[in-house]
Amino acid sequence: CTPSRGSLLSGRYPVRLGLQRGVVSAASKWGLDPAIRLLPETLQTAGYRTALVGKWHLGHYNESLTPARRGFGESYGFLGGFVDHFTHVAEAPPACASETPATDGTCALDWQVNGLPRPRATGVYAAYACRDAARRLVASHEGKEEPLFLYYALPTPHEPITPPDDVETYDLLPKLDVAGRRRDYAAVVAATDGAIGDLQAALQKHALWPNTLLVLLSDNGASAAGGSNAPLRGAKGGYFEGGVRTRALLAGSLLPQNVRGSSHEGLVHVADWAPTLLNAAGLRPDLVAGFDAMDGVDQWDALR
């Protein structure tokens, strides 16, 4: 989570960011170094409207670590690693029960809009709340001249594995574990897929799709608690390929016609996306401030 997202937005390897130690927790007093220039900061300087919808997970101990100070002009979602999908409580107990200063042992509400906390949970499934926020943002951008960078970081699939009520229950899947979590995981993935499709539909409806490059990524392999990375060995949190090797997908009208429907068999590191997206945006990575510090390799020519 934290190491991958820091690498994605900075173009640096997690070990160079000091993020190899683990993830930011609800009570962590550290985060991604504010001195490190991030992709949204560069795009914002170049005239982009920049927005984060969903999960941040790169630090929240002080304001310098938060999205508004890291290049995002707008943000909606949560700052920590995960929330209860219906109450939006941060790292729902028991994960943070021992770390919270609250006398009743409960965890704090982690849901914000442009840095300001929402007064209470909405009760809307978290992925759907993010979807609706992204659709509102896209609708507000129709007809605008400035380009848009939307970091759509959905909170699913992630613990707690609780699907919404409006998706198929997948009861026909083999019950491979006592709790039937594989069935719930499949339903959560289906809801996530729908939220991505709904964003694409919004881009098309509001005439942004003809000038869009959509990149779909994962920050790690599936959890062993319901997910599967077969035929790869291992899972999220481990060093085997099942934990660190994932697929990516590119779509949109900016993707050249000759590569649509094809596969790229080469390896791409998460740190490669920052310089790759800068090039795709028409910004020469070698002329961008901070580029010399990037570990990532520009893959745009290999992908198109």
Catalytic residue numbers? 1, 57
Alpha-carbon span 43 to 173, nearest angstrom: 44
Distances (CA, A) of 194 to 15, 17, 109, 166, 275: 34, 34, 26, 11, 29
Q: Report cis status (omega within 30 of 0) of the bond before 157.
A: yes
The residue behind tokens 């000038």 is 211
Alpha-carbon span 246 to 4, nearest angstrom: 12
- Tell me, what DSSP letter sits at residue 90? B
- The answer to whether the CB of 246 falls within 8 A of the CB of 257 is no
Sign for the pseudo-dihedral over CA of 186, 188, 193, 198: positive
Pull the structure tokens for residue 57. Answer: 């997970």
Pull the structure tokens for residue 107. Answer: 């965890």
Distances (CA, A) of 24 to 6, 56, 93, 206: 11, 10, 16, 36
